[in-house]
Amino acid sequence: MAEKQSGLTAIAMAYSRAYHATHEPHKIFDDFLADALFTPEERAQTNRDWANMLQYVAPELAATNPDPMTALAWVVQLTNGPITLPRSRYAEDGLEMAIREGVRQYIILGSGLDTFAYRRPDLSDRLQIFELDHPATQAMKQERVARAGWEHPSNLHDVPVDFTKESLSSALKRSPYDPTQLSFFSWLGVSYYLPREVVFDTLREMSSNTAQGSLIVLDYLDADAFVPEKVSKRVQQMQWMAAQLGEPMKAGFDPSTLPADLEKIGVRLEENLAPTDIEARYFHGRSDRYHAVEHFHYAKAVVF
């Protein structure tokens, strides 16, 4: 990530969650605090910019001349919404189950504008939360949190880190993280921005710095997403957009060989959801334009 970009993709994800929470009645994921992280001016500007994007995202829909609010809704539903909403729901549902089974630490890698710690004060005496992100993104989030007037939860630990310069274990050592405790790692929206070896190195660091039985949830792109003849049009557009924002996508994985690759580093895959599974679980029966995004998979793995 370029130093000055301050997590523009994280802002886009949070804006989609905010839009969904405030405008759409049938919730996939209810990030009811996200909207407060944006100023009225930023909302108005983003709404205009995203509505205008319809002509690039879906020219055939733009040709029907929808009003700007409809165009905005369609852009959210066709692009960032179906990326961020189901994966955040997947991670937080998994976390909820894990807490019941004794997990006491929640480590969010590439946390962006995550609001979990602020949404769940009820967990403050049971769960230590660690947000790890690039220093520029964390500074940008802290400015927004201060502007919203939120108090920093006592169980939230901010750990600024640039993963291209420092390892996960070294970063966690600067925090009260306890490697002997059962933990839940969430790594959403990051794996495809890193070189393949950095993804495996980071997963290995998770598995070797935590208690057996700890869980890891991540989303990843399949290898076809990087093959020009195979990638879907919408994912190709997303890759182009991410590159324009200074965060080019780099790595994809083969869902069929991932279990064996993970076993080698002490991690057993418990769930490996393909886009068809994600469609059935989170989008079935909706009458809007939300559908699972091609090439995006979710993995849940246990450290052994």
Judged by the rule CB under 6 A, the positions of this chain that interact with ligand SAM are 1, 7, 9-10, 13-14, 84, 110-112, 114, 133-134, 137, 161-164, 188-190, 193
Closer residue to ligand SAM, CB minimum distance, 87 or 301: 87
Beta carbons of 193 and 241 less than 8 angstroms apart: no
Task: Indicate the SS3 state at residue 157.
Answer: strand
Going from the C-alpha of 67 to that of each of 53, 55, 64, 70, 195, the distances in angstroms are: 13, 13, 9, 5, 41
Distance CA 94, CA 96 (A): 5
> To the nearest whole angstrom, how small is the minimum distance from the Cβ of residue 66 to ligand SAM?
27
> To the nearest whole angstrom, how small is the minimum distance from the Cβ of residue 138 to ligand SAM?
8
> To the nearest whole angstrom, how small is the minimum distance from the Cβ of residue 164 to ligand SAM?
5
Tokens 């998770």: give the residue: 206
Distance CA 90, CA 76 (A): 19
Closer residue to ligand SAM, CB minimum distance, 162 or 178: 162
**Residue 268 gets which letter from DSSP?**
E
> To the nearest whole angstrom, how small is the minimum distance from the Cβ of residue 46 to ligand SAM?
15
> To the nearest whole angstrom, how small is the minimum distance from the Cβ of residue 83 to ligand SAM?
8
Closer residue to ligand SAM, CB minimum distance, 7 or 82: 7
Beta carbons of 303 and 214 less than 8 angstroms apart: yes
Closer residue to ligand SAM, CB minimum distance, 62 or 111: 111
Closer residue to ligand SAM, CB minimum distance, 17 or 210: 17
